[in-house]
Amino acid sequence: MAQFESLKADVKKRGASLIFIAAQKRGGMLDPEKYFQENKISFPFLLDEDRSVTKTYGVYHMLGLDAFNIARPATFVVDRDKVVRFIYVGSSQTDRAPIEDIFKALKTRASTAR
């Protein structure tokens, strides 16, 4: 999340916005409230405490070597017409979508919207 704060202007320039979703409980082990106090995030953020959103998007991760009862890291680029233009689902908790691939998906949408 924090990496996108420095890219906020680039995201906005492409006519996009970001929403973050985490399959965590408010008072959970990773303490998301403390994280937000220490790391200012200007994008909307949803704590998916009951995992309903992550299950709907198919990224819920019941049990794995590196995690349990959370979501796989995932990135979705959805355009204004609600068409999914890009999906990346990480294979582990440290596997994230490459930033350049996300921006490429945003650029593709910007050029087709004209």
Domains of the chain in sequence order? 2-112 (3.40.30.10)
**What end-to-end distance do the CA atoms of the chain give, in Å?**
29
Question: Residue-wise over 74-109: b if at least 16 C-beta within 10 A, else e?
Answer: bbbbebeeeeeebebbbeeeeeebeeeebbebbeeb
Max CA distance (Å), the chain:
46
User: How far, in Å, CA of 100 to CA of 91, rounded?
Assistant: 18
pLDDT of residue 113: 46
Token digits for 36?
Answer: 């937000």
Taking residue 73's Cβ as centre, other Cβ atoms within 10 Å add up to 19
* pLDDT string in tens for the chain (114-residue length): 777 888 888 888 888 888 888 888 887 777 888 888 888 888 888 889 999 999 999 888 887 766 677 788 899 998 888 888 899 999 888 899 999 999 999 876 554 444
User: How far, in Å, CA of 97 to CA of 114, rounded?
Assistant: 26
26: Cβ–Cβ under 8 A, 6 or more apart, which residues? 32, 33, 47, 49
